Chains A and B, each alone.
Chain A
Amino acid sequence: MKKRHQQKLVVLSLLLLVLFNLPIILLFDSSDSLFGLPIIYVYIFSVWLFLVLISLIIVERYYE
């Protein structure tokens, strides 16, 4: 994998650090229901799934 593409994954890590912590996570801090789950759960699981998909795409495309 080229250095440039490795950086993409590092940027993803930094992005997750921001999305999963203060103050961003408190913006979604609610127990109201969305699809039968409290909103905070829905938020965390969606970001999580996003992480899986993005990293899958990056490694599939650029890992030689």
Chain B
Amino acid sequence: MNSALLLLVLLVYLGFLFFIAHWAEKKDNIKWTNNSYIYSLSLAVYCTAWTYYGSIGVAANSGLNYLPIYIGPIIIIPAWIIVLKKIIRISRVNKISSIADFISLRYGNSRFLGAIVTVVCLAGILPYIALQLKAISETFHIVTKTNSSSLIFNDTTTYVAIALALFASYYGTRYVDASEKRKGIVTAVAIESILKLVFFIVVGVYVTFFVFDGYDDIYTKASLLENFAEKNTIGGLDQGLNWFFLSMVSLFAIFLLPRQFHMTVVENNRERHLKTAIWLFPLYLLLFNLFVYPIAWGGNVLFEGQNVNADTYSLLIPQYFNNTFLTVLVFLGGFSAAISMIVVSSISLSTMLSNNLLIPYTFLGKLKNEEQIINNKKIVNIRKIGIFSLIIGAYFIYRFFALDYSLVSIGLISFVIIAQLAPSFFGAIFWRRGSRMGAIYSILIGFLVCVYTLLIPYAIGLTNNNSSFIAEGFLQIELLKPFQLFGLDYLEPVPHALFWSLLFNTITYFAVSVSFKGNYRERNYAEMYVDIEKYSTNHENAFVWKGTAYTSDIEKVLVRFLGEERTKRALNIFNVKYNVDKNQELADARLVKFAENLLTGHIGTASARILISSVVKEEKITLPEVLKILEESKENIIVNKKLTETSNELKEITLQLQNANSNLLVKDKQKDEFLDTVTHELRTPITAIRAASEILHDDEDIPEELKKQFLQNIISESDRLNRLIDKILDLEKFETGKQTISPTKNNLVETIEKSIEPLNQLIKNKNISVFVESKQKVNAYFDNDRIIQVITNLISNAIKFCPEKDGIIIVQIIDKGDFIQTSVFDNGKGINPKDFDAIFEKFYQSTNQNIKKPIGSGLGLAICKQIIEHHKGKIWAQTIEKGACIIFTLPKNKNIENI
């Protein structure tokens, strides 16, 4: 393919990424950019050109050793739920923006330690970035079938590198606060992660199923090749140990690589995103590895005996079959893998460079006296230049040191260098006694061992193959051979270097930490890191500080970096959070820590401390004092928590009591009302009886007919009295639970007909038409006598309210599956919807119609309700257009408890 055309494709592709990054920065798109899938995919920045091309090279040339690079991470990923969560919390509350911040803050906010971590990271990662540029450049020349030019300015890939450097320095420094989330970059990286995976799978499927006839075909042909069995097994105990060390170094790398720390920790918006990452990221890595073997061995079969670089099989195979489209696709995938690594690594390295090395050691004095706008500009420019020069520097490393090694070997060297941070890093979050001196010496010694066992031999190997250093050792001492240090001769160079460097590193860390007492600040941060769960909501409390500080001084410093407005806002938030008076002149420990945090994102932890301590006067505290204060603040937190819990409990109990009390009051009132109405109800017939009998008693000359009439009245009123007393007793029995029902299997239709029969005379008298709408037989379990009582009551009510002319009553029975619904309609005057609930109350009628003599007892519906509820059914009134409708349900099944 033509160089210019490919360059154009690349430009379009870069433009597309620009667009994605730009789009993602807009606030409206937050739903798309701040989710757990974007987060999980952005972690795949782990898969660089090394994964994309290098794995195939390893699989083809030396076998399985590319797999531990992924196995290490997936072993530890489930445990992220504890370990990574802790790291994310610590970083969030302390506004940490890089791994150098993380480690140096824990060891007493040490400026020197931050600088060492930065240097180690630079040493490890710069060649790694060079390696990505090498991959881009080499694959570019393969796709265009050109040779790389010895003159830098004639080589097109130089311009690609410059474009990349511009892209990264523009988008990487949008915010002055380095702990701010860069949604644009994250989203672009996530999109690239999808693209590189898809393109890789496409070429994998192409090789496996189109070039060859599936896995079996490749296996049959490949197994005839030399050393097939050897290269597709781990082989023996020695190799097993190599395997173990490689997986361990990758396990560390997934935490410690600056780009990985940046994506997993600094760019983490919510802890919840881990939920998806824990399964999605291993799945992503699995998919990426499925087709490595077929491409590698397919390539080995196709190019047997030819001198080609196995790293680039994924390009060479489609090119061999003249499939230009696929070749370009694969190239773009590799390009994606490389640039996401380059961009993210250079951003995090430049943040470290500016916040942990340049600002605290050189610029800080100048920044202190400048205005906010100038300061921000300066900081951003330092980082911009940092990113740009890192990428260009890496390009020069690639050009001038030629980097003759394969992708994997350089990648692994940088893994081993980065792994030197592991003891201090993991010690930081799990071990309180890890000290600053321990961390500094351990990293330095580990790094020196790396230099001796890896960097020097590799550097010598680059220029001089006949050096005696590797073959005979330093000063010809057998025991100091860099690849067989102290006679350890069965490990490969990388695991060998890892073993010795980490051994010295770890021993130093522990030995120094337990031998020398650390200062109080280290111990303070140690407590905060190890016990972050306790402090994550009010971590300012965990900062122990004594001395004199004035709020106005601190404010002045803040204004220089945040500006007036943001400083005011931040201080307001602080005052509200801790309930501090805004006019308080003296600042306490919390404000000091709060101010340090605010500055940390801009200038790094070390500089923030230096700046703040220049305006406050700190008194030395002893270590026991720190521990005592921390213990007290911990206790305070616990006591506070307990107090809140108890007070909440008390509140709840009070509420319950209040409810009970108001219930009792209502009940009491109801009881009074009930007694009133009962006496009233009972008195009415008694008055009538008394009046009649008085007349009969006093006047003996009443005509026989009138006498009979009076006697008749007395009888009927006594009957009424009797019925009323029966009903009251009935109701009382139901309400106190003395009444039981005995359900048997009955046909509801029959029951209804039986209940209507005695009322027939009344119905005829009023000329009412009664319809029963139902099937022949609707069986249910109920107490026949009681339900007759209910229906009789409902129908006599209906009769009562039917108009004098054309009265209609409809009884409808509907089978609803689990229960039977019976409705009784009449076309009378209807019920006011307001009274739907009230009509089922005792003496409802009488309380509302106390002027004239009630038509009924006022207890009927209340009794109906009790009966239906004892059957586990429901009864209610409903609006219809004209008339009234009362509906009740009865469950069909027998499982009604007998009450």
Interface residues of chain A, those whose CB is within 8 Å of chain B, are 1, 6, 9-10, 12-13, 16-17, 20-23, 25-26, 29-31, 33, 35-38, 40-41, 44-45, 48-49, 51-52, 55-56, 59, 63
Q: With A and B bound together, what is the CA distance between A49 and B77 in angstroms?
A: 14
Do A17 and B235 have beta carbons less than 8 Å apart?
A: no
| Bound Cα distance A59, B274 (Å) | 9
Closest to A3 in B: B82
Q: Which listed residue (B76, B81, B233, B283) contacts A40, Cβ 8 A?
A: B233
- The answer to whether B218 has its CB under 8 Å from any CB of chain A is yes
Closest 4 CB pairs of A and B: A36-B215, A36-B216, A31-B232, A9-B78
Let me know if B78 and A29 touch, CB within 8 A.
Answer: no
Is B616 part of the binding interface, using a Cβ–Cβ cutoff of 8 Å? no
- A9 / chain B contacts, CB cutoff of 8 Å: 78-82, 278
Q: Choose among B214, B228, B243 the residue that contacts A25 (Cβ–Cβ < 8 A).
A: B243
> A22-B241, A52-B279 known; A33 and B219 CB under 8 Å?
yes
**B247 neighbours in A (Cβ, 8 Å):** 20-21
List, sorted by A's number, 16 A–B pairs whose CB atoms are closer than 8 Å.
A9-B78, A20-B247, A21-B244, A22-B240, A25-B243, A26-B234, A36-B214, A37-B219, A40-B232, A41-B293, A49-B286, A55-B77, A55-B282, A59-B81, A59-B279, A63-B275
Asked whether, in the complex, the Cβ of A13 is within 8 Å of the Cβ of B219, the reply is no
Let me know if B234 and A29 touch, CB within 8 A.
yes
Interface centre among A16, A22, A23, A31 (most CB of B within 10 A): A31
Chain B interface residue count, CB cutoff 8 Å, equals 43
B215 in contact with A37 (CB, 8 Å): yes
Assembled-state Cα–Cα distance A6/B81 (Å): 6
Q: Which residues 395-411 of B have a CB within 8 angstroms of A?
A: none
- The yes or no answer to B664 lying at the interface (CB within 8 A) is no
- Whether B224 is near chain A, meaning CB under 8 Å from some CB there, is no
Asked if residues B219 and A29 are in contact (CB atoms below 8 Å), the reply is no
Known interface pairs A40-B233, A48-B285; 4 further A-B residue pairs with C-beta atoms within 8 A, sorted by A's residue number: A29-B235, A31-B223, A45-B289, A59-B278
- How far, in angstroms, from A51 to B283 measured CA to CA in the complex? 9
**Residues of chain A within 8 A of B216, CB atoms compared:** 33, 36
For A40, the closest partner residue in chain B by CB is B233
Q: Is the CB of A40 within 8 A of B282?
A: no
Query: Hey, which chain B residues are within 8 Å of A21, CB to CB?
Result: 240, 243-244, 247
Q: Are B286 and A45 in contact (CB under 8 A)?
A: yes
Docked pose: A40 CA to B230 CA in angstroms: 12
Contact B237 A22 (CB under 8 A): yes
Bound complex: CA of A11 vs CA of B1, how far in Å? 52
Inter-chain contact A48/B286, CB cutoff 8 Å: yes
Contact of A13 with B78 at beta-carbon distance under 8 Å, contacts A20-B247, A31-B232, A36-B214 already known: yes
Residue pair A48, B74 in contact (C-beta under 8 Å): yes
Residue of B nearest to A41 (CB): B293
A47 CA to B81 CA in the complex, in Å? 20
Chain B residues with Cβ below 8 Å from A22 are 237, 240-241, 243-244
Cβ-closest chain A residue relative to B215: A36
> Closest B-chain residue to A30, C-beta based?
B233
Could you say which residues of chain B place their CB within 8 Å of the CB of A44?
A: 67, 71
Tell me whether B82 and A20 are in contact (CB under 8 A). no
Interface membership of B75, Cβ < 8 A: yes
Q: Are A10 and B78 in contact (CB under 8 A)?
A: yes
Q: Cβ of B229 < 8 Å from any Cβ of A? A: yes
Say whether B218 contacts A36, CB under 8 Å: yes
Residue of B nearest to A17 (CB): B75
User: What residues of chain B lie closer than 8 Å to A23, measured between beta carbons?
Assistant: 240
| Assembled-state Cα–Cα distance A12/B82 (Å) | 13
A6 to B289, CA, bound (A): 28
- B-side contacts of A1, CB under 8 Å: 81
Residue interface bits B41-69, CB-to-A below 8 A is 1, else 0: 00000000000000000000000100100
* B12 surroundings in chain A (CB, below 8 A): none
Complex CA gap A21/B78 in Å reads 17
Contact A26 B232 (CB under 8 A): no
Question: Are A31 and B233 in contact, with the CB atoms below 8 A?
Answer: yes
Q: In the complex the two chains form, what is the Cα distance from A10 to B84 in whole Å?
A: 12
B290 in the interface (beta carbon within 8 A):
yes
A6 touches B82 (CB 8 A): yes
* A5 to B243 alpha-carbon distance, docked (Å): 31
Interface positions, chain B 245-286, Cβ under 8 Å from A, are 247, 272, 275-276, 278-279, 282-283, 285-286
**Contact (Cβ within 8 A) B275 A51:** no
With the chains together, A55 CA to B77 CA distance in Å?
10
On whether the beta carbons of A25 and B234 are closer than 8 Å, the reply is: yes
In contact, A56 and B279 (Cβ under 8 angstroms): yes
Chain B residues with Cβ under 8 A from A25's Cβ? 234, 240, 243
Q: For B214, list chain A residues within 8 Å (CB).
A: 36
Contacting residue for B232 out of A13, A17, A38, CB 8 A = A38
| Most chain A CB neighbours (cut-off 10 Å) among B74, B78, B228, B240 | B78
Give the one of B79, B81, B244, B286 with max A CB within 10 A: B81
Q: A31: which B residues are within 8 A, CB to CB?
A: 223, 228-229, 232-233
Q: Which of B215, B219, B233, B283 contacts A52 (CB 8 A)?
A: B283
Chain B's closest residue to A7 (CB) is B82
Rounded to whole Å, the gap between the CB of B80 and the closest CB of chain A is: 8
Decide if A36 touches B243 in the complex (CB within 8 Å): no
Please, which residues of chain A bring their CB within 8 A of the CB of B285?
Answer: 48
CA distance A25 to B244 in the complex (A): 10
